[in-house]
Amino acid sequence: MSAPWHLSPEALQQLARCLIPTGSADYAALTVMSMAAATYLSRGVLWDQPDPYRHLLYERPQLKMGGASGTNAHQETRNIAQKLAEADKNIVVFWGSQSGTAEGFAHRLAREIALRFQQSTMTADLSDYDPDSIREIPNSKIAIFLLSTYGEGDPSDNTAEFWDWIQKAPDESLSNLRYCAFGLGNSNYKFYNRVVDVVVQALDQRGARSLLSIGRANDAEGTTQEDFISWKDDLFAACRTQLGFEEGEAQYLPTLTVDEDESLEPIDLHHGVPDARDPSGKVSAQCSVIRALPVSSARQLFSTADRHCLHLDLDLTRQPEFTYKTGDHLAIWPGNPDVEVERLLQVLGRTDRRHVPIVIRSVDAATKVKIPTPTTPAALFRYYLEIGAPVNRDQVLGLAPFAPTPEAKAFLLRLGQDKAVYADFLRRTHVNLGRLLQLAAPGQIWTQMPLSYVVETMSPIQPRYYSISSSSVLSPRKPSITVLVASSPVPESPTELIHGVTSNYLLALSEHYRDAATGAHPHGLTYYLPGPSDALEGGQVLAHLRKSKFKLPRLANCPLIMVAAGTGLAPFRAFIAERRQLQQVGRDVGEMILFFGCRRPDEDFIYREELEALQTALSDRLRIVTAFSRHEETPRQYVQDRVREHGEDVIRLIEEGANVYICGRAGMAREVEKTVGQAMRKTKGWSDGEWNDWSKAFKRKGKWQEDVWG
pLDDT in tens, 148-203: 998 778 898 899 999 999 988 667 789 999 999 999 999 888 889 999 999 999 99
Round to whole Å and give the CA distance between 90 and 114. Answer: 10
pLDDT of 557 reads 97
Q: Which residues of 36-75 are buried (b: 16+ CB within 10 A; e: fewer)?
A: eeeeeeeeeeeeeeeeeeeebeeebbbebbbbebeeeeee
Round to whole Å and give the CA distance between 8 and 662. Answer: 80
**From the CA atom positions of the chain, what is the Rg in Å?**
30
Contacts of 453 (CB under 8 A, 6+ apart): 252, 254, 398, 402
- Respond yes or no on whether the N-terminal peptide bond of residue 374 is cis (omega within 30° of 0): yes
pLDDT mean over 528-540: 95
pLDDT band at 299 (very low <50, low <70, confident <90, very high): very high
Round to whole Å and give the CA distance between 217 and 228. Answer: 6
Residue 296 confidence (pLDDT) above 90: yes
pLDDT of 221 reads 87
pLDDT of 24 reads 61
pLDDT of 96 reads 93
pLDDT digits (tens, 9 = 90+) for 340-391: 999 999 999 999 999 999 999 999 877 788 899 999 999 999 999 999 999 9
Contacts of 32 (CB under 8 A, 6+ apart): none
pLDDT of 591 reads 98
pLDDT digits (tens, 9 = 90+) for 233-282: 999 999 999 999 998 877 788 889 999 999 999 999 999 998 755 433 44
Between 283 and 420, the more confident residue is: 420
pLDDT band at 491 (very low <50, low <70, confident <90, very high): confident
Contacts of 669 (CB under 8 A, 6+ apart): 563, 662, 706, 708
- Give percent of the chain with pLDDT exceeding 90: 74
Q: How many CB atoms lie within 10 A of CB 297?
A: 15
pLDDT digits (tens, 9 = 90+) for 78-126: 999 999 999 999 999 999 988 888 998 999 999 999 989 999 999 999 9
Residue 228 confidence (pLDDT) above 90: yes
pTM above 0.85? no
pLDDT of 67 reads 39
Half-sphere exposure (Cβ direction) of 508: Cα atoms closer than 13 Å: 21
pLDDT of 388 reads 94
CB 340 within 8 A of CB 434: yes
Residue 3 confidence (pLDDT) above 50: no
The strand pairing partners of 594, in sequence order, are 562, 624
Q: Pairing relation of β-strands 154-155 and 121-125? A: unpaired
CB 301 within 8 A of CB 606: yes
318 to 52, 142, 291, 625: CA distances (angstroms): 16, 51, 10, 40
CB 62 within 8 A of CB 368: no
- Give percent of the chain with pLDDT exceeding 70: 88
Domain boundaries, the chain: 80-243, 560-708
The strand pairing partners of 145, in sequence order, are 94, 181
pLDDT of 31 reads 60
Fold matches, 80-243 and 560-708: yes
CB 194 within 8 A of CB 149: yes
- Nearest alpha-carbon partner for 643 in 657, 665, 666, 623: 623
DSSP 468: B
Q: Pairing relation of β-strands 540-546 and 329-333? A: antiparallel
pLDDT of 61 reads 37
Residue 465 confidence (pLDDT) above 80: yes
pLDDT band at 676 (very low <50, low <70, confident <90, very high): very high
DSSP per-residue letters across 289-309: --EEEEEEEEEE----SS--E
Say if domain 560-708 classifies as CATH 1.10.3720.10. Answer: no
pLDDT of 280 reads 39
Contacts of 297 (CB under 8 A, 6+ apart): 312, 313
Round to whole Å and give the CA distance between 442 and 502. Answer: 29
275 to 270, 346, 461: CA distances (angstroms): 9, 27, 12
Superfamily assignment of 80-243 in CATH? Flavodoxin domain (3.40.50.360)
pLDDT band at 44 (very low <50, low <70, confident <90, very high): very low
pLDDT of 518 reads 77
- Strands annotated E in 16-120: 91-96
Round to whole Å and give the CA distance between 674 and 640. Answer: 9
The strand pairing partners of 142, in sequence order, are 91
* Helix 666-684 × helix 688-700 angle, to 10°: 120
Round to whole Å and give the CA distance between 468 and 601. Answer: 23
- Strands annotated E in 410-492: 464-467, 480-484, 487-490
Residue 404 confidence (pLDDT) above 50: yes
Average pLDDT for the chain = 88
Lowest mean pLDDT among 27-41, 190-204, 539-553: 27-41
Contacts of 674 (CB under 8 A, 6+ apart): 640
Round to whole Å and give the CA distance between 301 and 289. Answer: 30
